[in-house]
Structure 1
Amino acid sequence: MASRILMPVPVCLIENSQRKGLVVQQEALQVLSKVTQPVVVVAIAGLYRTGKSYLMNRLARQRKGFSLGSSVQSHTKGIWMWCVPHPCKPGHTLVLLDTEGLGDVEKGNNKNDTWIFVLTVLLSSTLIYNCKGTIDQQAMDQLHYVVKLSEHINLKAAPEKSEDELKDSEKFVLFFPTFVWAVRDFTLRLELNGKKISEDEYLENALKLKAGSSPEIERYNQPRECIRQFFPGRKCFVFDPPASKKDLDHLEELQDDEIDPEFLQQVEKFCSHIWEKSPPKTVRGGHFVTGNMLGKLAETYVKAIESGAVPCLESAVVALAEIENTAAVKAAVTLYQDLMKQRAKLPTETVQELLELHTKCEQEALKLFMAWAFDDDICYFQADLLRQVQQVKEKFCTDNEQASRVKCEAALKDLSQDMERRIRDGAYSVPGGYELFKGDEQALADAVLQEFLQRRQAVAKVILKADVSLTEKDKELKSEQDRRERAEQEREVQRKKQAEDKQKLQDQLRSSEEHSVWLRKKLEKSCAKQLEEHQRMMSHKSKEESELLNDGFFEKATHMQLVNSRLEQEYCTTKNNVTSWIDIMVKILLDLAVVIFRHWRSGSGASLPHSS
């Protein structure tokens, strides 16, 4: 269970070395593979030697863990990870990511810094940017990495032209984490024009744009515009210096009474906000990311970077969806099989009883699959689930028939022992013996199988032929009567078989309909969630447009208005096409179900076509 995962110390998630470049570490992936809960991923970025690791240790409710270091050298290389139980969200795991300090003079590789920042943004649900002093132009210049995000991330695979890339970057707000700016060693008063302001107001004021079109002003505005556009949820915290300069070298060893009390209050306020407000990590469609999925995303993004490509959000989710949907099918089939083994007491009294049990177990398996699966190609994976469950069900039906046959034969053996003894003793080798034999046989009729009657037929003929009390004509009539009785019994067996086949066919129709209902509900819920996300994005853009108008940036506001118009048109088109798209997906599933059940009825098994 994820809650039992214990990590006494952090481990490296993504190693960063000059010789190997960026490498995802297997030890970290093994840890993440065991985290089956949704994860809240809190990452911190910023210049090296600005105290990032100390804040992350406090978020883990520990004094030590992430390396603090005590010199001008950057201690954290790559991205380090610490998974801990979430303090405020039961059923969630808090994943803390401490990143390599940006701007390390020893490394001298700005491109490498940019990729570390890109990965931090892509993997986190809350991004903390840590700086020292104040939020001034120097601090903004140090955050130039945010300006490059649109150049280093693609929303869709292979955008056709630069204009498409620009349109994609307008939607980053859907996928990017909430943004927290932590200002360390803050010594100024939180005042503006002689009035006290909040920390958030301080940040928003620092993000205001300057009027003008000179290169200097454009350079001033660019990082501010990116933060405003990419990160809708913004928060700011300021921290007093924690201790005297001589004590900073061993800050993690200081007791609370040796640390500035104001600083401790600020840290407590910061940690409470992060614990309570940081959202779980999600991907497109609102799917909660588990630890295992987070590891897969890290591998996908790093692989793209190391191949010289740009990480693509759409491709990453598609790859993740295939992995998760395959796992969802396997887990659902396993659950169905386990439930049938636990609940099915073979043989059942009737085929209907077994089918009713199958229905209940299939519903639970389908519920698990739907909770787990992604929308991408879901109808094909669901059809595969249908095929595999059908295969397991047929095995149970076969086993049930065999168990029933064994049980009946055992019962017949017990019941017919007296008849066997009487045959051996010659009890029927007397005048009227045939009628006596038929009477005893009729006494077993309710328990007799057709197979058993066939075996008795030869014995009956011998006794009939030997019965001296009957004339030849009587024997001929009796023989003809026997043949009619046997034929009727065979017809009864055939009627029973047809009735059972009809029950199985009805069950297949029920299963197809139930699968289609579940699929429709899931897709409707997913589409509603995506439309809701789109509305939030439009709301953010509208707010940004209003602020630009109020600040007198009419040209920028006009551009934002065009963006909003385009997004609203997309919203309307998507909303209008939802029903037809869902109908198509359901039809694909039903068509595949027809193929599957037709193959089973023909006795050829079922091979399932997959999506391209």
Structure 2
Amino acid sequence: MDSPMCLVENADGELHVVPGAIKYLMGLNQQVVVVAVVGLYRTCKSYLMNKLAGKRKGFALGATIQSKTKGIWMWCVPHPEKRDHTLVLLDTEGLGDVEKERASSSHNEEEGGDTQFVQFFPHFVWAIRDFTLLLEIDGRNVTEDGYLEHSLELRKGGGRKNLMYNLPRECIRNYFPSRKCFVFPTPTTPANMPRLDSMDEVDLCGSFRTVADTFCRFISQESCTKTVKGGHKVTGRMLGYLVNTYVETIAKGPVPCLENAVLAMAQIENQAAVDEGLAVYQRGMEVVKALFPVDMGQISTHHLRSDHQAIQAFMNRSFKDKNWDFLKALAVAIAKHYADLLLQNEDASEKKCAALLEKRSTPMAQKIKEGIYATPGGYELYCNHYDNMVAQYRAEPEKGVRTGDILEQFLREKSLEKSSILQADKKLTENEKKIHKEKERSAVLEQEKKAAEEKRAEMDLP
């Protein structure tokens, strides 16, 4: 992402997600580290976020009392420390803007209902700008973190004033067990503050640059991959689902429930994992499908390999698939597609085998038409051609799984033809034998007649 884009728009007090930003998140399959900044406007929040992005410009800093950040702006950049992770920077509109009316809301929570989510809350980093005080408490030097913890101490006693004082501190103490503090000196002179975004780093106060560099290193090294209940890592795509759910829920009035949002996201994400797994399987089987017809060993080998790849793709994307319901759905979808492929392979084999037999039997059909086999001994000639045709068919490679079945069916169909030629040959042979015998008998009679004539001739001699 070359520059920040608005993720959640604040228009007249109503929140709306920006479709283009959500689309960008939905296309982000890497796990994300989310860093969000909140605080009073005109306190250099955007400057720090630009620095985290490694850029001089990006988030609008502004130089007037009018806040430049309306809603929530997002900037996705490669994480400087974590490989294959995206750093998602969220810059919120400043609190205390004189043009905005602020309202508070309350909601009922089950006792201890949110404590289980504390482990998934981010680090709480308190950045104090223009810090000119001494880091001392009761005459003792304290660290920046010590100063923060001192600031979070609760006041004793009742009353509305103490209650309002303690409430935000209790929230920070209860929901952010990991806390860090940075105190920043003034970055430059008051006269130069309006052009802070255009100033070179070397022109800023040296002590400010030192703290800013330390701050950025801490954020880069200590910020964890975003997770939800169950320890599941969140990708950009999943973050997009969550943002949509949160904003839609807020627009309806109630406070978003993290668990319900995660469950809704899990349904969408797991169905997408099923679809992705099936697509991986189908792409894997396209290789063997292009070779149809193939034998059972080939298609089975490709099936097992593609099935494994599909399950791997599903596992990489699936999320909170309790009882493996979605994995089972993937298995059913794969089984159905495999069954369809088996039928297609059988059909391809049947067509190829039938075409081969048709090609090999055509010369014999022509000989039958020409009466080649309609002679005595024609059956033997027919059988020689018949056996040769079958041998040629068997020798043809890559006929697929229906090789034997189609040949058997073909031979059954040819049995009547073969029997007819045999019967015809028998009749022709019997007739030939009768004729031969008749010729032999005629020859004998002719011989006898000649012998009788010769004998009469001898008797007539004087």
Q: TM-score, normalised by structure 1?
A: 0.63
2:312 is paired with a residue of what secondary structure?
Answer: helix
1:361-510 maps to which residues of 2 (within 5 A)? 361-376=306-321, 379-443=324-388, 444=390, 447=394, 449-468=407-426
1:13 is paired with a residue of what secondary structure?
Answer: strand
1:155-234 maps to which residues of 2 (within 5 A)? 165-192=110-137, 194-213=139-158, 216-234=161-179
1:29 Cα shift? 1.6
Preserved contact between residue 271 and residue 326 of structure 2 (Cα < 8 Å): yes
> Residues of 2 paired with 1:371 and 1:209: CA distance?
45
Report the counterpart of residue 458 of structure 2 in structure 1. none
Report the counterpart of residue 90 of structure 1 in structure 2. 83
Preserved contact between residue 80 and residue 97 of structure 1 (Cα < 8 Å): yes
CA 1:209 to 1:331, structure 2 compared with 1: closer, same or farther past 3 Å? same
Q: Deviations over 1:372-416 (max 9, x none)?
A: 112245633223322221222122111211221233234334443
Report the counterpart of residue 17 of structure 2 in structure 1. 24
Give the partner amino acid of 1:253: S
1:170 Cα shift? 2.5
Q: Deviations over 1:439-480 (max 9, x none)?
A: 4434416736123213312311220220227999xxxxxxxx
Report the counterpart of residue 455 of structure 2 in structure 1. none
Structure 1: give runs of 5+ residues left out of the alignment. Answer: 1-5, 115-150, 153-161, 473-612
Give the partner amino acid of 2:80: P
Which of 271, 277, 280 is matched with 1:326 structurally?
Answer: 271
1:234 Cα shift? 1.3
> Residues of 2 paired with 1:35 and 1:244: CA distance?
41
Larger mean Cα displacement after TM superposition, 355-364 or 243-252: 355-364
2:426 is paired with a residue of what secondary structure?
Answer: coil
Matched, 1:336 2:281: yes
CA 1:253 to 1:37, structure 2 compared with 1: closer, same or farther past 3 Å? same
1:242 is paired with a residue of what secondary structure?
Answer: coil
Larger mean Cα displacement after TM superposition, 384-393 or 245-254: 384-393
Preserved contact between residue 293 and residue 346 of structure 2 (Cα < 8 Å): no
CA 1:298 to 1:345, structure 2 compared with 1: closer, same or farther past 3 Å? closer
Report the counterpart of residue 510 of structure 1 in structure 2. none
> Residues of 2 paired with 1:346 and 1:255: CA distance?
64
1:286 Cα shift? 2.4
Larger mean Cα displacement after TM superposition, 214-223 or 398-407: 214-223
1:350 Cα shift? 2.6
1:217 Cα shift? 4.5
Q: Deviations over 1:275-313 (max 9, x none)?
A: 122112222222222223222211211111111122111
> Residues of 1 paired with 2:248 and 2:37: CA distance?
22
Report the counterpart of residue 34 of structure 1 in structure 2. 27
Preserved contact between residue 35 and residue 87 of structure 2 (Cα < 8 Å): yes
> Residues of 2 paired with 1:201 and 1:100: CA distance?
29
1:421 Cα shift? 4.7
1:30 Cα shift? 2.3
Calculate percent identity across the aligned residue pairs. 46
Which of 359, 365, 372 is matched with 2:304 structurally?
Answer: 359
Preserved contact between residue 249 and residue 256 of structure 2 (Cα < 8 Å): yes
Preserved contact between residue 270 and residue 317 of structure 2 (Cα < 8 Å): yes
Give the partner amino acid of 1:386: A
Larger mean Cα displacement after TM superposition, 212-221 or 97-106: 212-221
1:56 Cα shift? 0.9
Give the partner amino acid of 1:88: E
CA 1:330 to 1:244, structure 2 compared with 1: closer, same or farther past 3 Å? same
2:38 is paired with a residue of what secondary structure?
Answer: strand
> Residues of 2 paired with 1:384 and 1:268: CA distance?
50
Preserved contact between residue 284 and residue 302 of structure 2 (Cα < 8 Å): no
Report the counterpart of residue 44 of structure 1 in structure 2. 37
Larger mean Cα displacement after TM superposition, 32-41 or 218-227: 218-227
> Residues of 1 paired with 2:409 and 2:136: CA distance?
97
> Residues of 1 paired with 2:82 and 2:323: CA distance?
30
> Residues of 1 paired with 2:355 and 2:252: CA distance?
68
1:248 Cα shift? 0.7
Preserved contact between residue 127 and residue 182 of structure 2 (Cα < 8 Å): yes
Matched, 1:14 2:8: yes
Give the partner amino acid of 1:391: K
Number of residue equivalences? 417
Larger mean Cα displacement after TM superposition, 363-372 or 197-206: 197-206
Preserved contact between residue 346 and residue 403 of structure 1 (Cα < 8 Å): no
Matched, 1:240 2:185: yes
1:280 is paired with a residue of what secondary structure?
Answer: coil
Preserved contact between residue 377 and residue 429 of structure 2 (Cα < 8 Å): no
1:425 Cα shift? 4.5
Matched, 1:296 2:241: yes
Preserved contact between residue 103 and residue 110 of structure 1 (Cα < 8 Å): no
Give the partner amino acid of 2:341: F
Report the counterpart of residue 53 of structure 2 in structure 1. 60
> Residues of 2 paired with 1:92 and 1:84: CA distance?
9
> Residues of 1 paired with 2:176 and 2:234: CA distance?
20
> Residues of 2 paired with 1:378 and 1:250: CA distance?
58
1:529-544 maps to which residues of 2 (within 5 A)? none
Which of 208, 211, 214 is matched with 1:263 structurally?
Answer: 208
Mark the structure with the bigger radius of gyration. Answer: 2
1:314 Cα shift? 1.6
Give the partner amino acid of 2:425: D
> Residues of 2 paired with 1:88 and 1:194: CA distance?
39
> Residues of 2 paired with 1:212 and 1:306: CA distance?
37
**Higher helix proportion, which one?**
1
Report the counterpart of residue 274 of structure 1 in structure 2. 219
1:167 Cα shift? 1.7
1:219 Cα shift? 4.2
Instruction: Give the aligned CA root-mean-square deviation in angstroms.
Output: 2.5
Give the partner amino acid of 1:468: K
> Residues of 1 paired with 2:330 and 2:201: CA distance?
57
Structure 2: give runs of 5+ residues left out of the alignment. Answer: 395-403, 431-462
CA 1:347 to 1:30, structure 2 compared with 1: closer, same or farther past 3 Å? closer
1:468 is paired with a residue of what secondary structure?
Answer: helix
Preserved contact between residue 125 and residue 182 of structure 2 (Cα < 8 Å): yes
Report the counterpart of residue 99 of structure 1 in structure 2. 92
Preserved contact between residue 376 and residue 429 of structure 2 (Cα < 8 Å): no
